[in-house]
Amino acid sequence: MLPEAVRTVVLPQLPGWSPDATPRISALESGITNRNFRVEIGQERYVVRIAGANTALLGIDREAERAAASSAHAAGVGPEVVAVFPELGCLVTRFVDGQPIPPEDLQREEVLALVVRSIRKIHGSSPIPGSFWVPSVVRSYEQVARERGVPIPRTYERLAPVLEEVERVLLLAPTPRRPCHNDLLNANLLRQGDHVWIVDYEYAGMGDPFFDLGNFSVNNGLSEEAQEVLLRLYFGTVTPWHRARLALMRIWSDLREGMWGAVQQAISQLDFDYVSYANRHLERCAEAAADPRYRRWLDEAAGTDQDRR
């Protein structure tokens, strides 16, 4: 149910409101951090997002989120930010007509091309506040989890050295930082015809574009063939350097998701099985890190500029 404070403070300030308006409100099922509602006032349609408790512990900066969402709207891929009410943890955006893309459709080149076009628009947009570097994020999550008494998964303890060695390799040949979304789950990709909207900019910041590609590909179950298509659509020519960076970022993505799930066990008030979520991602991460090609990925990801072409 929409909180009463939001009904009485937020809705009367939205375009389309009148004293005799009868808003139509329905809960949106997507999202495992916040509560989301579709609100219709006359002909106007909005998404009202109520932030979850203690989300700053997840590394979320609400002012940076607003700026990133506005930048994405200016780039043509994010819905318009209509209003922000920080005291209520409330963000209001325009409702966009679109549906999450079925994972099986994301194996097809013509659909991947639509997604890549929108991702590239974010990466090519103006600089945004905040930064996103996975090792810093994961270490922060570990600290928060320990302080809050959450048992640290044993799988994570085994994977901590992987985080460090991948970081050392990637910093040997760093990629330029770009505005990145950093949370390209299926629910955040809404297709409307030949356009893909990207929503939810909570974790957006200046980061490595490869992380967006790795995060998108692993969370949506892209096959190795589809991963190759993804890289070709984004870069044109694909080299072992590109493949290695994508593979390592897929590992980092699951490590981050796993420890995100650990923190949520301490702070979330939603009815969601964060323990299973964390374990599922960490186990998949461990499988990828055990791939016989892992050491080769490290070597190829550390290549020179010539190796990129």
pLDDT in tens, 203-212: 999 999 999 9
Which residues, other chains included, contact 265 with Cβ-Cβ below 8 Å and sequence gap of 6+?
A: 145, 150, 274, 275, 278
Q: What angle do CA 141, 143, 149 make, to 5 degrees?
A: 100
Q: What is the pLDDT of residue 270?
A: 84
Residues 84 and 77: their CA atoms lie apart, in Å, by: 19
Same domain, 80 and 105: no
Q: What is the pLDDT of residue 284?
A: 97
- Mean local confidence (pLDDT), 227-243: 97
User: In the listed set 37, 64, 94, which residue is the last one of a domain according to the structure?
Assistant: 94
Same domain, 229 and 264: yes
Task: List the CATH number of the domain containing 58.
Answer: 3.30.200.20
- 37 forms beta bridges with 27, 48
User: In the listed set 64, 94, 124, which residue is the last one of a domain according to the structure?
Assistant: 94
For 291, the token pair is 């791939």
User: Does position 305 have pLDDT exceeding 50, yes or no?
Assistant: no
Of 9-23, 138-152, 251-265, 284-298, the range with the lowest mean pLDDT is 9-23
User: Does position 55 have pLDDT exceeding 90, yes or no?
Assistant: no
Q: What is the pLDDT of residue 32?
A: 72
| Per-residue pLDDT tens over the stretch 149-178 | 999 999 999 999 999 999 999 999 899 999
Same domain, 30 and 138: no
User: Does position 306 have pLDDT exceeding 80, yes or no?
Assistant: no
Is the separation of the CB atoms in 153 and 258 below 8 Å?
A: yes
Q: Which of 227, 216, 217, 213 is nearest to 184 (CA)?
A: 216
Same domain, 89 and 210: no
Same domain, 115 and 89: no
User: Does position 30 have pLDDT exceeding 70, yes or no?
Assistant: no
Q: What is the pLDDT of residue 19?
A: 85
| Per-residue pLDDT tens over the stretch 66-89 | 999 999 999 999 999 999 999 999
Any idea which residue has 């692993």 for tokens?
218
Number of compact structural domains in the chain: 2
Same domain, 292 and 208: yes
Q: What is the pLDDT of residue 258?
A: 96
Same domain, 89 and 124: no
- Mean local confidence (pLDDT), 37-60: 91
User: Does position 21 have pLDDT exceeding 90, yes or no?
Assistant: no
Q: Which of 58, 194, 188, 198 is nearest to 123 (CA)?
A: 198
Phi, psi of 191 (to 5 degrees): -90, 130
- 45 forms beta bridges with 40
Same domain, 86 and 103: no
CA count, 13 A, side-chain hemisphere, 17: 12
Could you tell me the sign of the dihedral formed by the alpha carbons of 198, 203, 207, 212, in that order? negative
Question: pLDDT-based confidence at 309, cuts 50/70/90?
Answer: low
Residues 268 and 81: their CA atoms lie apart, in Å, by: 25
For 232, the token pair is 């070709």
Task: List the CATH number of the domain containing 202.
Answer: 3.90.1200.10
Mean pLDDT of the chain: 93
Pairing mode of beta strands 99-100, 189-192: antiparallel
Domain extent at residue 176: 99-308
User: Does position 2 have pLDDT exceeding 90, yes or no?
Assistant: no
User: In the listed set 61, 94, 127, which residue is the last one of a domain according to the structure?
Assistant: 94
Same domain, 218 and 114: yes
